[in-house]
Amino acid sequence: MAKIPKIAVIGSYMTDLVTMVPRLPRRGETIAGGPFFMGSGGKGSNQAIALARLGAEVVAVVSVGADDFGKAALELFKNEGIGTGRVLVRDGYHTGMALIVVDSTNGDNQIAIAPGANEAMTGADVEAAEADIAGSDCMLLQLEIPAPAVKAAIDLAGRLGIRVILNPAPYRELDRGLYRKVGILTPNEHEAGLITGIGIESVKDARMAAEKIMSMGCRAVVITLGGNGVLVMDERTSCHLPPHGVKVTDTTGAGDSFNGALAYSIAKGMSLKDAAAFANAAAAVSVTRRGTAAAMPRLDEVEALMAAQAASCRESR
Ligand code: RIB
């Protein structure tokens, strides 16, 4: 029987409050939209759910408030088959909240977060989860929890010999030395621009940014370029994967779907390029649906899109 990959996700949980709008509001503008919906979100939790739906065993270390939204997080994890032993419930904090507007014409979004209990995550919380994290095939991190908790996680992974995938979202400045301890860095084009100072308008710019990130000590970098696909680089390869042609409904959480699927396939032993291709397909399935956690695809859906694309490539030759 194939081994089930085990992945540790240390990150955020948020409740997403979402409104579809006819276009994104300008500065100072109020815009009427609808419908409104509420769902589970947070980059850490979304990536954990992406992994669980693909079939991974997930160790999730997240922090929620002692409120109804925190209870909903526990319920969600139980329903998705994710253990709740490392969901930290904090008195005196509200569960993280994300205010999201989605442009109904093209799926683009704007997000503002109120981190709440996510900000209470400490390095000690991460270290306390060592016994659960040990034996993971990889560790998946984002930047919606405080930097000391991220640093503690990267250091713990180093001690345990676990490969780290860091999704530097949302961007915050990190100690440069941390980049040398990251196995794969997965910024989107905005984050790659902020890390490197290179404005990314094209695949060529993305390649330059990837080279600069490699020179900072990362062993591999995968830059997601929204509608322009994905740029993949490690010491051996550099390639550009085009986007899948799908009808986009909501791009929120596409990066989370991508990162969960990338970690899953890396943990399964795929090459970086094959893992990125799988993740590219997972993200494409997720943007065809509304919401974030709710939009994460199952393995058969990702495989079906990849098979359909392979067929259409053969046809176009
Ligand atoms: O990446 C999408 C996520 O970002 C949303 O679910 C929202 O909660 C924010 O964390």
Q: Which of 9, 14, 286 to mutate to test the pocket of ligand 1 (most atoms within 8 A of CB)?
A: 14
Of 17, 172, 292, 296, which is best to mutate to test ligand 1, by the most ligand atoms within 8 angstroms of its C-beta? 292
pLDDT > 90 in the chain, percent: 93
**Listing from the earlier edge strand, what are the strands of the sheet with 109-114?**
36-41, 14-21, 96-103, 109-114
**How far is it, in rounded angstroms, from Cα 177 to Cα 125?**
22
Task: Mark whether 16 is an active-site residue.
Answer: no
Q: What is the C-alpha to C-alpha distance for residues 37 and 42, in angstroms, rounded to an integer?
A: 15
Considering the domain boundaries, does residue 158 fall inside one?
A: yes
Among 103, 125, 250, 256, which one carries the catalytic annotation? Answer: 256
Q: Which two tokens stand for residue 21?
A: 């709008």
Q: Tell me, using a 6 A CB cutoff, whether residue 113 lines ligand 1.
A: yes
Average pLDDT rounded to a whole number, residues 213-237: 95
Residue 92 lies in a domain: yes
The pLDDT assigned to 176 comes to 85
Residue 184 has pLDDT above 90, yes or no: yes
Counted domains in the chain: 1
Residue 94: is it exposed, middle or buried by C-beta count within 10 angstroms (0-12/13-18/19+)? middle
Q: Is position 29 within any domain?
A: no
Cβ(257) – ligand 1 distance below 6 Å: no
- Domain contains 46: yes
Q: 65 alpha carbon to ligand 1 midpoint, in Å?
A: 17
Does ligand 1 have an atom closer than 6 angstroms to the CB of 276? Answer: no
> What is the DSSP annotation of 228-264?
G-EEEEESS-EEEEPPP----S--TTHHHHHHHHHHH
**Whether the CB of 116 sits within 6 Å of ligand 1:** no
Work out the burial of residue 74: count CB atoms within 10 Å of its CB; fewer than 13 is exposed, 13-18 middle, 19 or more buried.
Answer: middle
Q: Which domain holds residue 260?
A: 6-23+35-316
Q: Is there an atom of ligand 1 within 6 Å of 43 CB?
A: yes
Tell me, what's the pLDDT at 315? 44
In short, whether 16's Cβ falls inside 6 Å of ligand 1 is yes
Q: What is the pLDDT of residues 249-279, one digit of tens each?
A: 999 999 999 999 999 999 999 999 999 999 9
Q: Which of 146, 165, 151 is nearest to 260 (CA)?
A: 165
**165 occurs within a structural domain:** yes
In a domain, 1, yes or no: no
Q: What is the pLDDT of residue 316?
A: 36
The β-bridge relationship of strands 163-166 and 184-185 is parallel
Nearest Cα neighbor of 296 from 104, 39, 105 is 39
Say if residue 317's pLDDT is above 70. no
For residue 241, the cross-strand partners are 230
For residue 30, give both structure tokens: 């109020």
Cβ contact 183:263 at 8 Å: no
Whether 44 is in the pocket of ligand 1, judged by its Cβ within 6 Å, is: no
Q: 43 alpha carbon to ligand 1 midpoint, in Å?
A: 5
Helix, strand or coil for residue 36? strand
24-72: pLDDT as tens digits: 999 999 999 999 999 999 999 999 999 999 999 999 999 999 999 999 9
Residue 255 CA: nearest ligand 1 atom is 1
Residue 237 has pLDDT above 90, yes or no: no
* Closest residue to atom 9 of ligand 1, CA basis: 42
pTM over 0.75: yes
How remote is the CA of residue 253 from the centroid of ligand 1, in Å?
6
Residue 28 lies in a domain: no
Give the model's confidence band at 1: pLDDT under 50 very low, under 70 low, under 90 confident, else very high.
low
Is the Cβ atom of 234 under 6 angstroms away from ligand 1? Answer: no
Q: What is the CATH number of the domain that holds 117?
A: 3.40.1190.20
| Atom number in ligand 1 closest to CA 12 | 10
Question: Across all residues in the chain, what is the average pLDDT?
Answer: 95
Q: Has residue 30 been placed in a domain?
A: no
Predicted pLDDT of residue 62: 98
The average pLDDT across 87-101 equals: 98
Tens of pLDDT, residues 275-314: 999 999 999 999 999 999 999 999 999 999 999 987 554 4
